[in-house]
Amino acid sequence: MSDWIFMNGTYVHRENAKVSVFDRGYLFGDGVFEGIRAYNGNVFKLKEHIERLFDSAHSLLLSIPYTHDEIKNIVIETLKKNRLDTAYIRIIVSRGVGDRYNLDPFVCMSPQLIVITEKFEAFSSEFYENGVEVLTVPTRRNRADTLSPQVKSLNYLNNILVKIEAKLAGMQDGLILNTEGYVAESTTQNLFIYKNEKLITPPCSQGALEGITRNTVIDLATEYGYNVEEELITRHDVYTAEEVFMTGTAAEIISVVKVDGRVIGIGKPGKLAIKLFENFKKYVVIEGEKIE
């Protein structure tokens, strides 16, 4: 059991880790977060995750009362305190307690930082060995010009609605289109397709988060000599791809073998996805911050 949680400068046991019902993170989803993985004593891409946390907060005019280095040290210390070298890490910053009826964010003067580290329950090996089936859901991605997909806010309602629709249809995940009908991403993962010797992923401007795993996969594929492009992707492009796979912090790299009833490629994880996944697993234990 991961008993210790960092809350605003101190460590508390999980049963005492409580926030006010008047916290704006609870009332309005007014806050930001990051999900991070630690692998065998290495916190993967911790620097990049913290930078994205600060970017999200800056976009919301939310002041984080700690520096980048201080948060890095807090994450590592929390892992050590809980005796975890392989874990899932959640950093949460809310705007803090404010007037429960007032949307005005400037009435809040005490943003709070919470760091949770827990033993990570890996996804079923079946997903990696056989791939998954997804479907296109009715709910569209929020418009990027009204709510930037680069802000990882505590309001995840758009994604939750997609997850509900996918689960009700008996699927593990759902494919999200933007309001123009182009593919944005899946519930919590970026999407890649491979066709005609080209690896393609949607531009972030189309509603996709600039995922840390996404960028790592782009770097790895480029290093292997593959042509990687950011292009608009339609459902037809997905249906006719040789390979389709999703990337994310929790799931890493999972192949998609069927979309909306259409079999993708040969109906099982493709060679590129397998190669990327094998090398990604080697990369995550060396790139990041060591727990010492």
Task: List, by residue number, the catalytic residues.
Answer: 152
CA distance 16 to 265: 51
CA distance 183 to 236: 10
CA distance 124 to 183: 26
Q: Residue 265 corresponds to which tokens in the numbers above? A: 């490629």
Q: Which is it for the CA torsion 200, 204, 208, 210, positive or negative?
A: positive
Residue 12: burial class (beta carbons within 10 Å; 0-12, 13-18, 19+): middle
Are 283 and 291 spatial neighbours (Cβ–Cβ below 8 Å)?
Answer: no
- How many other C-beta atoms are found inside a 10 Å radius of the C-beta of residue 62? 22
Beta strand 227-230 pairing with 112-118:
unpaired
- For tokens 């840390």, the residue is 212
